[in-house]
Amino acid sequence: MRDVSEALRAFREEVAILSDLAAAADLLSWDQDTYMPPGAAAGRGEQVATLHALRHARLTDPAYTALLDELEASGLDPAGSDHAMLREARRVARRAGRMPRRLVEELARRTASARVAWASARGEDRFDLFAPELAAVLELKREEADAIGGDQPGGRRYDALLDVYEPGATAASVKAVFEPLKEQQVALLAAIAASGVRPPDGMLHRVYPVDAQRRVCEAAAASFGYDFRHGRLDVTAHPFAINIGADDVRITTRYDERFLNSALFGTMHEAGHAMYEQGFAPEFHRTPLAQGASLGVHESQSRLWENLVGRSLPYWEGAFPALQAAFPEALGGEDVAAFYAAVNRVESSLIRVEADEVSYNLHILVRFELELALLDGDLAVSDLPGAWNDLYRSYLGITPPSDALGCLQDIHWSVGLVGYFPTYAIGNLVSAQLFAAARAALPDLDAGVRSGDFAPLLGWLRSNVHRHGSRYLPAELIRRATGSELDSRHYVDYLTGKYGALYGLA
């Protein structure tokens, strides 16, 4: 057996190539969602499929598997980063080894065409344009789930897909978290409705020129700590952040001239994701550790900056004068208290990304239940619009007037992200727990937010979350950062405290 240092060097060289192939595919996907002409979708699908196939071939190469076996037998320090890197590499290789190359290529092609079909269907409000593509994607995802299987006995197809995004989570464990949380949030939503308090939000629906919105969004992201030297802000149908490489983490948003929240808070959200990616330890770049511990942890960063900072009273006490200066006609005569109440108005709404904090998790519950049923075959694709509307009536008391505002609003299923949605709600819980820990460590946190000095908060997150990448599994990372296991109490306390004050609840 060769020297461990030589094996590690060979391992790092190989995972760097794997990282580069993934980054190239991501760059093509970013272009597809931003600047690519719509007629290029078929060719782009072939290009992305080729890159995924090349990466899959390397992941399943017997020589690579033998290298992983050699390192596992070498006695790496279990507490070291090399051991964690090997763990993550083995996790990805194991899944890839169970996936036929044909399936990898077909998923890449199908999701490329489904993404275009979804965009057209959403724009024309015609679910029938997307339904055949969704059915095809779901069939491939069932095949993927069957191929990779679950590492836990008695699991279900959904568990195998969920594990990609939230290691160790299952449909049953997610339900166990969601059910009591749903009861608490439904009760809070009912109490707010019964309070009779309805903060006016008409100021948010005035005319906000797009050029001015762009400048405001860029300034907000930069003030938080998003590094525009190694990133950029572009327009897309569904906002996202994407890591093209260690020095290139991009964000997107969408503008609505008659609604300020969409771009402003959407940009804060994506900047939170991107700052996580920009904060990985340099030695982890081009390795399996240059990724979030899980998508739940990743989502905690976007929700923390969007909501716990961006929708807080201290933030707007400091930032509102500049916003008024950017939009004098819309906001010149308003005061900060009214604006704060408006951007935190609680009201059942149709669009997940624009939902208030109290009702947001109910939007996630709808999607979680529906994708479970779709994947299991208990719900036909043709019946999705009706089932979606039924759940919105049941959980939120509203009915979408169109599929564009209903089951076509999210891009996720078109690109094969089945099992992804629960991570949004998990992220909410983690964000509140991390923010509580940061507040305990930073007694002047509110004063810093009020003055626009976000460096202490970002520094705490860099030290306790960002730099570690995926070195630690989600539960261990949360325990290290906060001193305790994940506990929904922090999120419930945050919601009841903030909205109790806003709505005069006991």
What are the catalytic residues? Answer: 270
What are the structure tokens assigned to 104, written together?
Answer: 């990898």
N-terminal to C-terminal alpha carbon distance within the chain: 69
- The rounded distance, in Å, linking the Cα atoms of 329 and 326 is 9
For residue 249, give the nearest of 224, 226, 269, 218 by alpha carbon. 226
CB 431 within 8 A of CB 307: yes
Angle between helices 157-165 and 171-195 (to 10 degrees): 70
Distance CA 149, CA 143 (A): 10
Distances (CA, A) of 182 to 28, 179, 296, 372: 39, 5, 18, 17
Residue 399 one-letter amino acid: T
Using alpha carbons, select from 254, 260, 156, 253 the residue that is nearest to residue 201: 260
Shortest CA distance to 432 belongs to which of 184, 159, 218?
A: 184
Nearest to 85 by CA among 76, 94, 75: 76
User: Distance (Å, rounded) from C-alpha 197 to C-alpha 502?
Assistant: 9
Q: How deeply is 490 buried, as exposed, middle or buried, from its count of CB atoms within 10 A (0-12, 13-18, 19+)?
A: buried
- How far is 337 from 238, CA to CA, in rounded Å? 30
Give dist(CA 95, CA 92) in Å, integer.
5
List the Cα angle 365/369/373 in 5-degree steps: 170
Instruction: Please return the burial class of 466, using the count of CB atoms within 10 Å of its CB with bins 0-12, 13-18 and 19+.
Output: buried
Instruction: Name the CA radius of gyration of the chain, rounded.
Output: 23
User: Taking each helix axis from N to C terminus, what angle separates 455-464 and 422-441, rounded to the nearest 10 degrees?
Assistant: 110
- Smallest CA-to-CA distance from 11 within 58, 79, 44 is with 58
Classify 419 as helix, strand or coil: coil
Selection from 27, 44, 207, 191 nearest residue 116 by Cα: 44
Which are the contacts of 265, defined by CB distance < 8 A and separation ≥ 6? Answer: 306, 310, 311, 343
Question: Do 349 and 359 form a contact (C-beta atoms < 8 A)?
Answer: yes
In which region does residue 154 sit, left (phi positive, over 0), alpha (psi from -120 to 50) or beta (all else)? Answer: left
Phi, psi of 404 (to 5 degrees): -60, -35
